[in-house]
Amino acid sequence: MVTTTIREIDNTQNDPRQRTELITGGNTFTTVTEKVCSIVEDPKTSQTWFVMLGASLSFLGVLGLMIAYLFWTGVGVWGVNNPVGWGFAIINFVFWVGIGHAGTLISAILFLFRQKWRTSINRFAEAMTIFAVMCAGIFPGIHIGRPWLAFYLFPYPNAMQMWPNFRSPLLWDVFAVSTYATVSVMFWYVGMIPDLATLRDRAKHPIRKFSYGLLSLGWRGSHRHWHRHEVAYLLLAALATPLVLSVHSVVSFDFAVAQLPGWHTTIFPPYFVAGAIFGGFAMVLTLIIPTRHFLNLKEIITLRHIENMNKVLLFTSCIVGYAYSVEFFMAWYSADKFELFTFLNRAMGPYYWAYFIMIFCNVIAPQVLWFKYCRTNILITFIVANCVNVGMWFERFVIVVTSLSRDFLPSSWDMYYPTMVDILTFAGSFGLFFTCFLLFLRFLPAIAMAEVKTVLPGSHLEHGHHRGAGDYHGDVPEAHKED
């Protein structure tokens, strides 16, 4: 992998007289191709990558052991009890599904809004989405107690005449998450085809040439191929956009349709969607900051990209903070004593520490991003992003545990304490996530080269927008000749 250190260039100025460069360092179409492909083509893999992969595989092994132990012993090894029947498993499921939101948001919605700064980060975000949804899918599967009967969730004709309960939001989750995962994989793969063809054309080893040739589906870069590609990409973006809103809305229904105080509220769908985008952007920043440093991609993923993402983080933080306030207001305004007790219990009950970690990480810490110095400071950004990651996990902990542990009857109250199996299973899910992410960095194009080239000076953006089905490909044919 590349070892040369590249200095940071500040391209966050807003001069109305000229377009700010999204890609710095005087890069051309050729240098972008060289920098991105060299990550995959370099025969010498860095020791840092091996160390990180080894650590990730260790955690992945822990995940496998914990799941095997769970299947062998039963869910009694978890800390769940009566009344807290949803413990770490559902908390982790909602956490990972939320992280998976930002990928499709960056790829699809920002694409439809013609936000060209997305081109340097969309491939990261799409990959993150897929790996996060993979992690999310584990927890409902192992939470059902008898995972070998998980196929009962799917409606299919069977001899026992058994059908799922279509009125249950838990069943809606199955369809929503599986649809989201399928469309996200297709969107990721279709966008990657031109870059896979570039790797195929540059490959020297026959196995690499065959592998990338197979994945690139015979791409030749003709006008007809670009046209079909742009139309397919645009259609998938249009299909994926409503899924961004629907998936976490459906997940929020798992709580909102229940009669439990603290859950039974109409604010949950928009509140969950905003929180998911918030947490997803924080995870993208957590991944991108070390990646751009170790792979020397600072000229492609620039300070402007970091600042723009910080602005989204700040905006969604304000929405989440507003939602926390509205929940308290509505609990008081409803005059429902159970509802009011639940929210007071969150802030002053036995789990107050989790509530205030959530408030600090999700509402207070991101407020430093009002200042440009903080938005363009890599260390501060990394700290804030990780604060948000922690805060969003605790948000799900607060929602699930505080409402279940103290419901209507004090006689049924009980405390929830996670066991070591709970904690190791959650830590192991990060092993799966980072193992997939590191393999993605090493063997697939981490940057969307074809899309990045459309924002280079050679694409003549200074003369205004170009037309094109996707507004990214095929509108600068003279520029592609340079490559």
Burial 415-442 (b: 16+ CB within 10 A, else e): ebebeebbebbbebbbbbbbbbbbebbb
Q: What is the pLDDT of residue 480?
A: 44
Q: What is the pLDDT of residue 450?
A: 87
Confidence of residue 472 (pLDDT cuts 50, 70, 90): very low
Place of tokens 């509108």: 475
pLDDT of 476 strictly over 60:
no
Q: What is the pLDDT of residue 361?
A: 95
Taking the C-alpha atoms of residue 468 and residue 453, their distance in angstroms, rounded to an integer, is 15
pLDDT tens readout for residues 116-174: 888 888 888 889 989 999 999 899 888 877 778 877 777 777 777 778 888 888 888 88
Mean pLDDT rounded to a whole number for the chain: 87
Query: For residue 65, what are its two tokens?
Result: 């052991």
pLDDT tens readout for residues 388-402: 999 999 999 999 999
Q: What is the pLDDT of residue 215?
A: 93
Q: Which of 143, 147, 137 is nearest to 179 (CA)?
A: 137
Taking the C-alpha atoms of residue 112 and residue 103, their distance in angstroms, rounded to an integer, is 14
- The conformational region for residue 289 under phi > 0 = left, psi -120 to 50 = alpha, else beta, is alpha
Q: What is the pLDDT of residue 172?
A: 87
* 130 to 46, 49, 133, 329, 416: CA distances (angstroms): 25, 21, 5, 37, 31
Minimum mean pLDDT among 30-44, 97-111, 308-322: which range? Answer: 97-111
Query: For residue 331, what are its two tokens?
Result: 């609990």
Please state the separation of Cα 211 from the chain's center in Å: 27
Taking the C-alpha atoms of residue 231 and residue 229, their distance in angstroms, rounded to an integer, is 6
Q: What is the pLDDT of residue 168?
A: 85
Taking the C-alpha atoms of residue 342 and residue 406, their distance in angstroms, rounded to an integer, is 8
Q: What is the pLDDT of residue 401?
A: 93
* 49 to 38, 197, 293, 419, 479: CA distances (angstroms): 15, 25, 13, 32, 34
pLDDT tens readout for residues 197-212: 999 999 989 999 999 9
Confidence of residue 460 (pLDDT cuts 50, 70, 90): low
Question: pLDDT: is 275 or 465 the higher one?
Answer: 275
Q: What is the pLDDT of residue 478?
A: 46
Q: Taking residues 47-57, what's their average pLDDT?
A: 94
Residues shown for the chain? 483
Taking the C-alpha atoms of residue 194 and residue 220, their distance in angstroms, rounded to an integer, is 8
pLDDT of 289 strictly over 60:
yes
Q: What is the pLDDT of residue 482?
A: 45
Q: What percent of the chain has pLDDT over 90?
A: 47
Taking the C-alpha atoms of residue 289 and residue 299, their distance in angstroms, rounded to an integer, is 13
pLDDT of 466 strictly over 70:
no
Number of Cβ atoms within 10 Å of the Cβ of 373 = 8
pLDDT of 295 strictly over 80:
yes
pTM over 0.85: yes
pLDDT tens readout for residues 297-349: 888 999 999 999 999 999 999 999 999 999 999 999 999 999 999 999 999 99
Minimum mean pLDDT among 1-5, 31-35, 57-61: which range? Answer: 1-5
